[in-house]
């Protein structure tokens, strides 16, 4: 059984995810920014973000046993906080500069890719994302897309105020990057070249299959 609610999982993720999270922090210029992480689990990635000098990371997860690993691991880290809720129950007064979600099980479990994004993720993004959103779709429940073009079209229609900026393909999953503005995000060499490969047990096959490009007119 794949268990995510123990210290070993936290420790392993804390080590293996460092390059990606650090590269993501640089690429999206997250220093000094407020971040919302949905389905944060043990919060290993979020602790890395907090230590990378973001202003704040708010971790939302309904599973207290899992979240408490992050709470215990970060007792001396002031810029991380925890909300033991489902995202659909979470309330915050402000929007966040950046929204992140990694392997959200409620989305992956009742996956039905043809449905696009679950309503509660759409609501949370509309309500809380000031700009960029990075969604990592991978994990034990992950199944490869049958029709990813259909999936992306659905999301494009569901999220009226957001644009799909990037879609990355890994053997083990996919990464979706959204933004409120149509724009190309400058590449960061680590993000592009190497740092997603830890995920890809098949041998580092991560490639960007979609990048939004400015129209000519």
Task: Return residues touching ligand SAM (CB under 6 A).
Answer: 4, 13, 38-41, 60-63, 66, 86-88, 102-106, 139
Least separation in angstroms between residue 44's CB and ligand SAM is 6
Least separation in angstroms between residue 4's CB and ligand SAM is 5
Q: Which residue, 169, 207, 163, is CA-closest to 185?
A: 163
Q: By Cβ distance, which residue is nearest to ligand SAM? A: 41
Question: At 105, is the secondary structure helix, strand, or coil?
Answer: helix
Q: Give Cα 150 to chain centroid, integer Å.
A: 21
- In the chain, which ranges are continuous DSSP H helix? 7-16, 18-27, 44-51, 64-73, 105-109, 119-128, 148-158, 189-193
Least separation in angstroms between residue 64's CB and ligand SAM is 9
Shorter beta-carbon distance to ligand SAM: residue 102 or 212: 102
Asked if 90 contacts 124 with a C-beta cutoff of 8 angstroms, the reply is yes
Shorter beta-carbon distance to ligand SAM: residue 103 or 175: 103
Shorter beta-carbon distance to ligand SAM: residue 139 or 179: 139
Residues 6+ away with beta carbon under 8 Å from 208? 166, 167, 168, 169, 192
- Give the residue carrying structure tokens 């449905």: 115
Least separation in angstroms between residue 115's CB and ligand SAM is 15
For residues 9 and 144, what is the distance between their CA atoms, to the nearest angstrom?
24
Shorter beta-carbon distance to ligand SAM: residue 104 or 116: 104
Shorter beta-carbon distance to ligand SAM: residue 124 or 212: 124
For residues 85 and 111, what is the distance between their CA atoms, to the nearest angstrom?
21
Shorter beta-carbon distance to ligand SAM: residue 87 or 164: 87
Asked if 90 contacts 125 with a C-beta cutoff of 8 angstroms, the reply is no
Least separation in angstroms between residue 87's CB and ligand SAM is 4
Least separation in angstroms between residue 63's CB and ligand SAM is 4
């Amino acid at each position: 059984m794949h268990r995510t609610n123990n210290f070993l999982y936290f420790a392993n993720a804390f080590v293996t995810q460092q390059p990606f999270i650090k590269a993501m922090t640089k690429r999206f210029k997250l220093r000094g920014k407020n971040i919302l992480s949905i389905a944060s689990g043990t919060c290993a990635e979020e602790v890395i973000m907090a230590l990378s000098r973001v202003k704040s990371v708010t971790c939302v997860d309904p599973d207290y046993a899992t979240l408490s690993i992050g709470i215990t691991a970060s007792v001396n880290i002031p810029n991380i906080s925890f909300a033991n809720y489902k995202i659909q129950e979470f309330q915050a007064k402000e929007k966040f500069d950046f929204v992140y979600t990694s392997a959200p099980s409620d989305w992956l479990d009742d996956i039905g890719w043809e449905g696009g994004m679950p309503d509660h993720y759409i609501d949370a993004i509309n309500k809380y994302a000031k700009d960029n959103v990075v969604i990592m779709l991978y994990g034990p429940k992950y199944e490869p897309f049958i029709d990813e073009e259909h999936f992306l079209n659905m999301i494009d229609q569901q999220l009226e105020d957001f644009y799909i900026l990037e879609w990355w393909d890994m053997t083990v999953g996919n990464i979706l990057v959204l933004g409120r503005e149509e724009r190309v995000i400058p590449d960061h060499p680590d993000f592009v070249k190497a740092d997603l490969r830890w995920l890809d047990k098949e041998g580092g096959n991560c490639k960007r299959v979609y990048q939004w490009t400015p129209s000519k007119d």
